[in-house]
Copies of this chain bind each other. A is one copy, B any other.
């Protein structure tokens, strides 16, 4: 594929920049320059360019784009880093100690809906040891490039053993409470149907990590008051449509059976009573793919794509994509564009297969560009922008995005 000259210059500028800024040098993997891709679909030539904005991220997991430019990035087994003016900070002080193993580590990030006033940031992570750990939510204030007032405001219960299936994504509802997805802990899948356990659930919390009034099971004896929905496996995608407050989630299935779900308070999403997948051994998990009282998924992937990261595109840079969802694929090494109308998937497109990169997170930026993290020991921050529309290239230290 031809490498256009300008993005290559941009990449060189960013690299030089991160070297010259007094930060420890990032490991220098053999990273491709910006990738040019021309995708002709439906006779319209929808051209975009993939810019490599940062390299050398260690298993980056989540990206929170900051108003005014820059982003916070978690590295699963590393720390929390600030990407600003084209440079990556060293890991910031003050993050909570995390269990760093397999799925577990520092996980999702979300800005407070009033971030510009209160500078609050929420960070989900796996807390504890291999013998006893839990998905937890840490809240801090981003004061310049320092973390202050950090504390753990929520801990899922009960504890589980092993690092598998912590979840977890965070999304704010229109009432400024938040949803947090919690995985089933893999070995604890039956608890996803148990309202007395926090595993395999979406929970709804206020800014202090407490269950606010109005949760669907908060008055049911024996049920955990934070539970919002149940029957989930390992959800790594969660978003709220700002236009109408609709909540969308996706989760990893077993062998086959990844799902996109429309989330409604109090609903049962079925795991492990229903699934379109089978166990990794090939054995059945359930004979039922659907059942009475269980909300069916809006989309199912068999074989699994291993979805992670979820964005709803409402920007202007790609008018043809407005209203579409984007899902990162780890196993598929792809970015999927998905159109849902009337509760059904009417279009799916597989993008970026040529990058051969596991996509861990995808976010729509305020500039209308898409931002991606690749799941790799030498992970990258990538940006998709329309061809013919320049990324910010000069001066290289200007605020991006």
Contacts and interface: CB of A to CB of B under 8 A. Distances in A.
Interface stretch (A149-157, A176-184, A346-354): A346-354
Nearest to A281: B287
Interface string A267-308: 000000000101001111011110000000000101100000
Interface residues of A, number: 34
A300 B302 CA distance: 7
A344 interface: yes
Contact of A320 (B43, B319, B347): B43
Contacts of A282: 284, 286-289
Interface in A323-358: 339, 344-350, 353
A34 interface: no
B42 A256 contact: no
How many copies are assembled?
A: 2
Contacts of A349: 346-347
A302 B353 CA distance: 22
A320 B42 contact: yes
A287 B278 CA distance: 9
A246 to B, nearest CB: 20
22 contacts: A41-B42, A41-B339, A42-B42, A42-B44, A42-B46, A42-B320, A42-B321, A43-B321, A44-B44, A256-B276, A256-B302, A257-B302, A278-B287, A282-B286, A282-B288, A284-B284, A344-B350, A344-B353, A346-B353, A347-B347, A347-B348, A347-B349
